Amino acid sequence: MAKGEDAVRRKKNKKLRKKNNSTSSVSAKVAAVIAAKKRRKAGKRRMCQGMCFSLPTPDDPFNDRSGKEEFKTKGPKKKTRSKPKDETVQLNGKCEAGKKGAVGGRNIAQKSNDLLRENIVQGPDCDISEFPSKFVFWCLSSIENALRLDDAYTDGEGNSFFLNPWGLEFLRCYSSGNDLMDTSGNSATTEQIAWTVSSAADTFVRKEKEGLSFSDPFLLFLVPSQEKAVQVRTVCKPLKSVGIHTVSIHPGAPLDHQIQGLKTCEPEFLVSTPERLLELVSMKAIDISGVSMLVIDGLNTICSSGHTDTIKSIKKCISGNPRLVIFNDCFSHMSIPMVRYLLTGSICRLSLNNSITSLSSCIIQSVKVCTSEDKVVKSIEALDQFQSSCTQNSNMLFILRKDVKCHKLVKTIESKGCSISLDSDAASFNDSVDSDSRAAVSAIYLENLSTMDLGTYDVVVLPSFVPSMDTYVHILTKMARQSVNGVLHSFLTKRDTELAAPLIKVLEQCGQEVPQTLQDLHHTSNMLED
């Protein structure tokens, strides 16, 4: 039976009254959509709603667990004695917790524990050579974003810091624990500075997590100019969010202002020009005795400006053995003595430039023109000089030629207490450092050179010059890979006149001195051609 209009109207009004009186003024479907949106904004979506989203929390800053609670097992409670505050490990003096600019008494471990929970493991430091820690990537990302936001990054526009091959190679060398020397021949770029300070920040936070506390700057970054100091300070500025403060010191600011600033702030990273830093140290405005890492950018520029003694004085003010990273902006032989003063142990050479000048950096090429009889005498003089000044783990190699008589030289070397074996099966004798880590002297025929690892030899002697420049360049670029004390002795005679010109070219290209006797030999070859 059909309903009348009044019945239909009453039923419709009843639904409207029921809807208006309900708690929700929308349909169930719309209410579900609104509720899902609220949960999404609050970071509390249900597991069944694919593409689950949750906000980062202090316990999970990188959102690796996707909002899930970490599964914890209850273990037996251990009775531990509360550790008094006075037992906090201090390095190089006590911290003053109440100073302005100091974060928690210089101890940021408590603040950064949650942030670094996933990437800093308990116990020994994890190896970052294969995969850098998340904290290093976080630092690089923060620095890159800040620089691009301020339009301060122009060195590699469009390229990400993470894709920089130099940075990955730097991290591999940095994890070895040795000092580093960049041999590219340029000052540090923005990317290189970012990778350096990010790795230093990672090391600093790890040590803070272990309970160590620093009263002096952890990183000292020496630069040649005020402009470079501002650049490094700009790169380090984003690290302030994790409690790493950076202070820049240069002659562009009043000395009194810098002294007052250092009294109210204890920086973790210190960027400075050498002359202003030494001035503040002499006035006891800052203490750098506890510096753990020393980075020097533009070493040749600093030395050319007459600050060689200043660098030495700063190095003496640092107690202990700080980690060194050197960017040498020139291949001139004038900076070699300073490099050797700073880098006394094993090093890692770092450069993506495969040029002769880069690979032969800090290797002295000693070239002498003499007679066949004098070659033996001068070769023995090189041996005596090596034995009198060599250090532990130093090696010396004689490269002999089968087509040139060397019986007299071998006998003389044996008389010096060296045992030589030049059999074809045994290309060298005493090829590696012995168990006592004493200096070793080896010999090899040129024909067997491919079987020898030249990288472990600091001093190489060519009693009879090699027949081609390709062989000379191979020896020059492969020797002394772990040291800055490399010396390549070469002895030429009148029969080597054809090689004088290309040898002079290599010496000039590497910034080495060209001896007058070699130039005379070159002129002689030109006269013979005429």
pLDDT in tens, 506-527: 999 998 989 999 999 988 866 6
pLDDT of residue 81: 46
Q: Do domains 109-351 and 364-529 have the same CATH topology?
A: yes
**Residue 109, CA distances (Å) to 92, 106, 296 in order:** 18, 9, 28
Average model confidence (pLDDT) for the chain? 80
- 162-188: burial string, b at 16+ Cβ within 10 Å, e else: eebebbeebbebbbeebbbbbbbbebb
C-alpha span between 48 and 52 (Å, rounded): 8
- Taking 70 as the threshold, does the pLDDT of residue 433 lie above it? no
pLDDT in tens, 458-505: 999 999 999 999 999 999 999 999 999 999 999 999 999 999 999 999
Total Cβ atoms within 10 A of residue 502: 15
CB of 522 within 8 A of CB of 501? Answer: yes
Question: What class does CATH assign to 364-529?
Answer: alpha beta
Whose tokens are 């070895």? That residue is: 176
- 84 DSSP 8-state letter: P
Between 31-35, 315-319, 457-461, 468-472, the lowest mean confidence (pLDDT) is in 31-35
What is the pTM (predicted TM-score) of this model? 0.72
pLDDT of residue 111: 44
pLDDT in tens, 68-106: 555 444 455 544 444 444 444 344 443 444 443 344 444
Strand, helix or coil for residue 431: coil
Compute φ and ψ for 27, nearest 5 degrees: -70, 165
Task: Give me the residue spans of the domains in the chain.
Answer: 109-351, 364-529
**pLDDT average, residue stretch 252-259:** 89
pLDDT of residue 210: 87
Q: Going by CATH, does the domain composed of 109-351 fall within 3.40.50.720?
A: no
- Tell me the percentage of the chain whose pLDDT exceeds 70: 74
- For residue 360, what are its two tokens? 């032969």
pLDDT in tens, 109-164: 444 444 443 444 343 444 444 456 889 989 999 999 999 887 666 555 557 888 88
- Determine what percent of the chain falls in helix, strand and coil, rounding each to the nearest 5: 45, 10, 45
Whose tokens are 């029921």? That residue is: 18
pLDDT of residue 154: 55
- Taking 80 as the threshold, does the pLDDT of residue 300 lie above it? yes
Of residues 100 and 333, the one with the higher pLDDT is 333
**pLDDT average, residue stretch 363-380:** 92
Compute φ and ψ for 462, nearest 5 degrees: -110, 85
Compute φ and ψ for 159, nearest 5 degrees: -105, 140
